Every structure is written in structure tokens, then in C-alpha cells.
Structure 1
């Protein structure tokens, strides 16, 4: 029988094991403040969404002003200035060659849109191509389509009957990159797939696995040579996380379809976009109404969320934002360095503002028993760190200080002492 005080069902939470939820009253900068007067350092940007800091004044002001003018309008047959401004700025900031912007509400739905773009494109130009190629250990969301193109395992085992089949290529582990490229080339040659979807440079929920930009470049080249659509899921890797605005920049590639969310509004409101090449839009452009792109949600391009996104994009047009990202990356490099020689940890790694390392324990992986113990330990130290099993990662807002990071890494060191 349920003994929880609240009737709220929380995400990715086993309520039979989780204690009472931490009640947060407010956020400011890199900090969260609790109902019992604690200040918590947000070391994972509240599930990777907060970029410039909690309640950034410029973004908050934009939200307030828009809420007083227009808070919602059906986006079919209508438009509004915040959406037009966001689309225009996005196309200027995104890799050259992306021509159209489709709005949705979350990272998962932006990927669903990308998959539907790809299948609709091939159907509308008269080709029967529906196979999707994916990368081992990937994660693209929790809707049925996004679960299908993600790694099969504990996240989606209960829903297996709903999932469609895909072709998987191995993760390009350090020193073993060529098998990935060979497998992708074989899949493109033999299976005539519709698209290949990948998280550029870093696989997030799959364990913060990192691979070099030259591999991303080669994967795009293989897809381009084979005429396979290349989908970049930058829901997590975008907005400076990898050191550049978008991860694809480091490989010098333009995806055919790109998915952006999380930091799109600076972490203030839900919003997502899927960008695509002009010919994908053109394949749906017709006087034949059956070729319409049939996808929407009631809150598509919500004006208030778009106003937040516009304010966030304004900040990304300021060189100081990029300087701050570079500063955080440099601080992260300094703080993680001592752990490379620490025998208690393995696979110590960094890409841009993200660091990760494995705590060496008997059981590893997402369901490693050490995971909940680590999370509780960090919570007691007033840190928001949510390990992926025995993988500890740090992905802070860009307003984090050196002192904050010092506190975070001291706690990681102490956790190894006390829990292992």
C-alpha cells in the first residue's frame, strides 16, 4: 500500500525507495534554496537545462512582458512576433544549410518530429525508405518513437511491444572508432535506411560517453555519400555544453535535421525546435493536402516560451556568454585533473563544460547500487548531483564559480572515501 504523503508521481523515481522530496522555494544563479533554508549548488543544471543561471533577470523580464501581451494562440494558421524572431535568430546561429524551424514542446517531441520529417520526406518523393540507424548506448527520449531509436534496456523494457526495429552501430570507444564507421557504412549500403540519428560528441543518459569530432565528421560524410539523412540530436549537447554553441560546429558539419531543446529558453520554460534542410520542407509542400506534415501540440510555439527563447538567443549574441563558457570549461579541466591519477576512479573525461568519471565498484551501470547512495551523499552535502549509476558527472550552469566547483569535487573525493 502506498505510504507517500504526496500523490504526485515523480519522473525517473522509485517511490518505494525514495524518501521525502526536497522542496525548493526559489532559484538564483547556480543555487537552489530549500524550504528548510538550505542553499544547494546545482551541479547538473537541473537536468541539463539551465545555462545562464536560475531566474536570469533578462529572461525573466522577457517572460513577464510577453505574459501581459499574448500568452497563447493556436499556431496553425497564425503566427506571432516572438516565434518569428526565434526562428530568424536560430537560423543565423545554427550551422549553415538549415532552412526551416518547426516548434514543439520538449526534447523527446523534437526528435519525434525529426523522425517523422525523415519518413515523410522519403514517402513524399516516392521512395520506400523507413529504416532508422542508431548508435549503441544512445538515448533520445521517452516517447514511443524516441525509445525505439534509443538503447534497449531498463528504460524501455516494459514497452518493448510498442517499439519498432532499428539498426544499431557500436559506440566509437577510444581506439575502436573504425568498427563504428565500418558498421555505419555497411548499414547505409545494404539496408537503404531513411536516416541515421546520433547525439553529437556526447551520449548523455547513456553514461556521458564521449567521442572525438573527427568521428562525427566521418559519420556525416558516410551518410551524405549514401544519401541517408543525418539527424543530430543536440537536445543536451547544444547551447555551449560541448564548448561551442552546437556540438556539430566542432566537426564542421551541418546536419540534415537538427533537434534543440533544454537550454533553448535558458532553462526557464519548456520549448523545443527541429530544424531541417529546405528540400525536406519542399517534399511536404504541395496542393495535395495528404502531404501535409501532420504533427502538432496545443502549445506549439507558445508566445511566452518563445519570448524566453528570444531573450536566451540575445544572450548568445553577446561575446561575453562565449567567454563565460570557455571559463567554465577551463575551471572544469583544472578541477577534474587530479582524478586522472586517482586509482579509485576510471575513464576520467571532459568535453567542453561537461566532466565525467567512473567510480570503481563491483557492480557498474545505471542500476549500480552505489548510485542512490551517491545521490543521497551529495544531497546531504547540499549538492544537486544525480549520478548515472557509478558514473558521476558535473554539468553546471555557466555562472558557477571556482569555489562552487571546488566544493563539488571535494564531495566527489569524499564520497569515494566514505562509500566504497
Structure 2
């Protein structure tokens, strides 16, 4: 008889453990992951997705199961264990009343301990670490249990909603976890620290988050650095010299000055005609190769510009300022570099990095570097309302800047290293000891 009762107690504890494990696992399991498993044809994935997309119902089913098994354990466990322990106390000569009280206390503590450890804490920890596996394993049994107990679960759910409704709370319509941008950054950083993703992948994701916050002005090639071809030149040699020196694939073509960009020329097309027809490259043959150029305001977000360039199959866009003058240009490569980092080809051997680290406290920075990037790199709090770049900020603080000019800010000494006329090229940042 006692063997049957002990077997029933063990069964109640195991059922409690199962319901607890399912409860925690379906909360932790991700719907997006289940969608992926469904596409991969994993057995039980569809049932698992059904369960985690109806959390109210199946959490109620788990709670009902836990409550019923706990009641069964309380009804059967304590009397059975007490009946086994009390004769041992009576044999020691203790009074029957004392033996009864001691056996009652010990039986209650023992049953509670076993139920909490084996039925609650252990399955909870296991479920948190193996949420996906447990959800897949128990999804179908939980669906069957829910169907069998539907009347009770329906009554419990609606009773609970009636009570929460008195406090102005409405039932959640969607339990899919949504994260803010900052939460996603934290999750990605934790995934990197745990070895789940690579550093480069973390870098790409962080860059994507900042992608839609950047404007074309922040990444453009400024007007003074634009290399253009004149529509009307004295000789073809001028054009050939420009192309030979810079080795770009595409050039804006200007009529008169850079405020009048008439289009874009692709040197591959010119080369193809030269090779196929043996034509000479002169001013008279420039116009047939000119393609229309995209003209957009310099403050356009780069993601909008990228979409526009994709639609129009363009690799270069001309940026204009608020007065209609040319502010600079942006290429598809400039936009892509905002995500994947700097891209260099065989003709970029003379390019220097925008950040040259000389030591842990000393850097050579390009004056075109954005102030926000400088703050991220150095941990400073440089602020400027009217300018975006480090060089622009320096000029607002030191209008007559020349090589050797310095500014002290946030524990760093910023010194102009190179300057071209009034245009600052590089600035050294040296942290004060």
C-alpha cells in the first residue's frame, strides 16, 4: 500500500516538474526561432509556435497543472510520509502526542523540500537553459492537455481578466517580444562576449543602427575635393591628365564651375568605345557619354538616398545646399562603407586612414571625421551646432587656425598638423597626462 502511495507522490512531483519546465520554456522560447525551425522542417516546431503564440491559454494550462499536482501532493504526500516516520519516534519511547507533532513537522518539511527542489527549482533552471528543446518536446502534450481541460482553463482565464479589468488592465494581444534599439545593442554585445557572434558582425549591426541617422552631408566628398571633368576644355589632353591622375570610374561633368553639374560620365563606356572604334578622347566626344545626375539636398538621410540611387541605377549623386549650389557628391561606395567599413581598391594605396592611432592616448585624426565619431573614439563631449566635422569645430573655436594651433578640450589637446590654405587636413589629439 505504501509503495503505491510513494509511487503516486513521485508521479505528482514529476508532473509538477514538467508543468514548471514547460511554463518557463514557452515564455523564454522565441517565435522567430520557431519560424526558422518550421522552415527547416523540425518535428514539433509548428505545435511549439502555436503554444508560444497563445501564451495566455497555455500559461493558464501550466498553472492549472501545477496547482492540481500540488494539491494532490499535499493531500497524499504529508500523511504518507508522516505514517512512515511516526512509528520510528514511538519506538524511541516518546509520547504519542510528541511523536505525532514531530512526524508531522518533519513530513511537511521533507515533502516541501523535495517538491521545491525537484518539482520547481531544478526544472526552472533546466528550462531556462534548454527552452527550445523543452518547448519542442512538450508542445503537443500541452495542446492535448489544454483541449482536455478547456472548460476549466476558459473559466480561470475569464475570471482573471474580469478581475484585472477592474484595475483598467487589458489582456495583451501579442506576446512576441519587441526590443528597442538600445536593448538590441546590449543583446548583441552580450552575444559577442559569450562567443555567439564575431566582432565584425557586432560592428556591422551597430553601424546599421546608426545608418538611418546619418545624412548625406556627413559622408559626402566635399565640393573642394570633387574631381570633375569640364564639358568644354581646350584639348583632350586636359581630360586625359585628369583621368590618369585620379583613376576614378565615374566623374561629374561640369559646365563652367561645380555649381553646374550637367551629368555623370562612366570611363568604362568611354574605354569600350575607344577599344572598339579606336576613337580619340576629345572635348567633341564627351557629350555622348554623359548620363543624367541625381541632384538631392545635402541633408537627405543616407538610407533614403541609397533607395533613390537603387531605383535609378545610379552610383553617384550630387548634393546641393539650401541655396542651390553644389555642396559635394556621394557614391554608392561611400554609403556602403557606413556599414562594412572602409573599402579600398588597387588605386587607393595613397589613402590614409581617418584615424591613426599612435598610442593609447595619441591619435592623428582626419579633419573630416565627424564630431560624433570623435566623441565615441576619445570619450569626449565635443558639441557644435553649426558644423559636423572635427575640422569645422576647430575653425569655430580658432578662426585663424594654422599648423601648430591648439585647443584644450575634455582632457585632450587638439593640434593642427596639416592645412591646405584655409582647409584643415589632419589634427592630432593628445590626452593630457
Regarding TM over 0.5, the answer is no
Q: Which structure exhibits the higher relative contact order, with contacts defined as CA atoms closer than 8 Å and separated by 6 or more residues? A: 1
The answer to which structure has the higher helix fraction is 2
TM-score (norm 2): 0.20
**Greater Rg by CA:** 2
